[in-house]
Copies of this chain bind each other. A is one copy, B any other.
Amino acid sequence: MSCQRLGRRTIRYFDPPSILASAAVTGKKEAEGPLGGFFDETWDDTTFGQDTWEKAESQIQKIALETALRKAKLKASDLDLLFGGDLLNQCIATTFSIRGTDIPFFGIYGACSTMGEGLCLSSMAVAGGSARIAAAITSSHFASAERQYRLPLEYGGQRTPTAQWTVTGAGAVILGNHAMPPYVAGFTAGRIVDLSVCDANNMGAAMAPAFVDTVCAHFRDTGTGPKDYDRIISGDLGTVGSSLASELFEREGYRMDAVQDDCGMLIYDAQRQDVHAGGSGCGCSAAVLCGYLLRQMQEGVWNRILFCPTGALLSPVSSQQGESIPSICHAVEITMKRDET
């Protein structure tokens, strides 16, 4: 056994895998946001030199993985397993980004929770011995997401105040058993939560209950509370979902004000950059984790965070059929000290 099971949904590793390196790559709008200086690479050209938006998204992922490997002083051939996925139908941003690399690959789909799921599974693989070195990658692109989920950009469609802006960006994390911080100490797996929100332009509201459900399960399973973490960060609830989450936490008896934050609110200056409720997309939490959160930890600002990407598991077809939005959130505990695990 490589881990201890706590409750039904939480596991903690006896020998926690290390994050050997990470990389965040984004487009222009993200570079102009408050975290712009933290990303490894940003491009003014949001086509990333490609001739379609889908290929542009693959390219961002490719650059992120190559950058993370270079930072870890590793080659693609050192990776025993790669977990990756994205928002595009049939996850083509990912499969086309790694075509030609020869890396053993498992495709995952968790919508905007993908980086959380990737960290759960890659840490499980490393801790259990299935991989010496594993990686998790994901991406999103504003233009490929808009035309798939909403309208082609050329239509100039209006956006509602609760709408969020899909981040053009990617993140890659490399894990191994190297006994150096930061560590993936464990995780609380998500389950599907659906409180009957049907508005596909208000995904923050749909996902907030999943975030609260998973964090409360984590607190119960581990006997911890908000004061035990330096930050507890949701993926992309935005302003609407984040304030709903605060209310739901209060009903559960937790005051989260001092520690709660959201990648979707961190990545843009909502007023100045006209993104309405904030950022979203798989690339949102991935780029914020790889560029900003892990760097804050390595610089000693935080010692223990709970990284909780949230995913809205709808499709345009399910919305057209009048269905509400099933959501999920995986919580990943990242620490700088092993004895805290």
- Residues of A participating in the B interface, judged by any CB pair closer than 8 Å: 1-5, 8-9, 11, 52, 54-55, 80-81, 85, 87-92, 95-96, 98-111, 117, 120-121, 124-125, 127-132, 148, 189-192, 194, 313-318, 321, 323, 326, 328
Contacts and interface: CB of A to CB of B under 8 A. Distances in A.
Contacts of A103: 191
Nearest to A144: B317
A85 B80 CA distance: 23
6 contacts: A96-B323, A105-B191, A106-B108, A106-B110, A107-B110, A124-B125
B318 A11 contact: no
Given A1-B2, A5-B131, A55-B321, 5 more contacts: A9-B104, A54-B321, A90-B111, A101-B192, A107-B328
Contacts of A148: 317
B81 A189 contact: yes
A79 to B, nearest CB: 9
A111 to B, nearest CB: 7
A95 B314 CA distance: 8
B315 A89 contact: yes
A88 B91 CA distance: 11
A176 B154 CA distance: 52
Contacts of A107: 108-110, 117, 313, 328
Contact of A121 (B1, B106, B313): B106
A11 B321 CA distance: 43
Nearest to A124: B130
A317 to B, nearest CB: 6
A129 B90 contact: no
B124 A54 contact: no
B2 A99 contact: no
Given A124-B125, A124-B128, A89 B317 contact: yes
B317 A106 contact: no
A55 B85 CA distance: 24
B104 A190 contact: yes
A199 to B, nearest CB: 17
B2 A128 contact: yes
B92 A314 contact: yes
Contacts of A110: 106-107
A233 to B, nearest CB: 20
Contacts of A314: 90, 92
B128 A80 contact: no
Given A108-B109, A109-B90, A128-B128, A95 B313 contact: yes
Contacts of A191: 101-105
Q: Which of A4, A81, A91, A107 has the most CB of B within 10 A?
A: A107
